[in-house]
Chain A
Amino acid sequence: MTDEPNQEPFDEAEYRRRQRSRANLMAWMLGALAILFFFITIAKMQIFS
């Protein structure tokens, strides 16, 4: 008998699903930040002009 830890089988489908879900979320967040930074810049230009 060996003392190897009881490992679950690697679930590639779950791995890909989580990767896709995080990548999608990251894309949306980066898009939202780009828009937010654009409007912050516009707002600051209005205030300081």
Chain B
Amino acid sequence: MAQSLTHGETALPADWRDLFALTKPRVMSLVVFTALCGLLAAPVSVHPVLAFSSILAIALGAGASGALNQWYEAGLDAKMKRTANRPLPAGRLDPQTALQFGVGLAAFSLFLMLFASNWQATLLLAVSILFYVFVYTMWLKPRTPQNIVIGGAAGAFPPLIGWVAATGSIAPLPVMLFLLIFLWTPPHFWALALFMRSDYAAAGIPMMPVVAGEKSTRRQILFYALIMAAAAIAPWPLGYTGALYGWTAAILSALFVVLSVQVGTRTTGEGDLMQPEKRLFAYSIAYLFILFGAIVADHWWPL
């Protein structure tokens, strides 16, 4: 367990920057962006204040999930170079403060969503927070190499919640966006896991490269990239989006598959710099940003 910054009987109050870091701001940026795209792609107009408040609620919900994840994984984070400097393992924050902050933020995010939007979006937000904390963080992640596959559902909720916040109901397009992020998550995280393999092994997390080996992970990256590409392009032929999104999805997904083929078909030796894996990981982030931007552009300025 992390050591807190205590001086005898008196604990130093947590620095707000450490509380902010607990919310995983970089992950939150992707959540906010995909939620905003889901909301803007909906076929109704939303009052700007209510739209802003709904997105804020989703961002706070994601921040709460990140905080509770870091609270639960403080011990594991201390064993990995990438995460050892987080506020809890580094001892800058008291675990009790992190837990209270996470639970309080989650409750507030649900209250704000209910006040600004509707109960359907609030219910989805609650399910996504509970799924991330209990199903992914506590149950799947330490137990199975399929953790990323099923846990990816938690990260796939934001565009669905954004859409439901705007319309009050679920439609095929946001479900397809959910599916897109769900299928995008395995190649994205396994590319990271390939070049961070020793870190995950040191922490005892059963990530795919640690348990099934590199060869199997590379094959599965390629497999998921192919079905993800099909899911990304599908809204176009099915008539839910126009050509602007369709062509963007086709071109970007083809490049995703090319990069995945490079990762999926290679073997590495001692001292390999893992450049193709790092390239795929970086590209996968840009891919999702551009594709969701294209969904909105296609809705507002169709070709």
Q: List, in ascending order, chain A residues with CB within 8 A of B12's CB.
A: 11, 14-15, 18
Query: A1 within 8 Å of B by Cβ?
Result: no
Q: Is the CB of A25 within 8 A of B116?
A: no
Give the size category of B's interface with A.
Answer: 10 to 19
How many residues in A have their beta carbons less than 8 Å from beta carbons of B? 21
The CA-CA distance from A9 to B79 in the complex, in Å, is 29
Q: Is the CB of B8 within 8 A of A39?
A: no
Q: List, in ascending order, chain A residues with CB within 8 A of B301's CB.
A: none
Q: From residue B200, how far is it (CB to closest CB) to chain A in Å?
A: 33
Q: From residue B285, how far is it (CB to closest CB) to chain A in Å?
A: 30
Query: A40 within 8 Å of B by Cβ?
Result: yes
B7: which of A9, A19, A36, A39 is its contact (CB, 8 Å)? Answer: A9
Closest to A38 in B: B49
Q: Is the CB of A21 within 8 A of B47?
A: no
B53: which of A15, A19, A25, A36 is its contact (CB, 8 Å)? Answer: A36
Query: B115 within 8 Å of A by Cβ?
Result: yes
CB within 8 Å for A37 and B10 given contacts A21-B16, A43-B47: no
Q: Is the CB of B15 within 8 A of A18?
A: yes
- B4-16 to A contact mask, C-beta < 8 Å, 1/0: 0001101011111
CB within 8 Å for A15 and B13 given contacts A7-B8, A8-B7: yes
Q: List, in ascending order, chain A residues with CB within 8 A of B115's CB.
A: 37, 40
Q: Is the CB of A25 within 8 A of B7?
A: no
CB within 8 Å for A25 and B10 given contacts A36-B53, A40-B49, A43-B50: no
Closest 9 CB pairs between A and B? A10-B7, A43-B49, A43-B47, A18-B13, A39-B49, A25-B16, A40-B116, A43-B50, A19-B13
Sampled A-B contacts (25; CB under 8 Å): A7-B8, A8-B7, A9-B7, A10-B7, A10-B8, A10-B10, A11-B7, A15-B12, A18-B14, A18-B15, A21-B15, A36-B49, A36-B53, A37-B115, A39-B49, A40-B49, A40-B50, A40-B116, A42-B49, A43-B49, A43-B50, A44-B50, A46-B47, A47-B47, A47-B50
Binding site for A on B (CB under 8 A): 7-8, 10, 12-16, 47, 49-50, 53, 56, 115-116
- Extra contacts, 5 of them, besides A18-B13, A22-B14 (Cβ < 8 A), are A10-B7, A18-B14, A25-B16, A40-B116, A47-B50
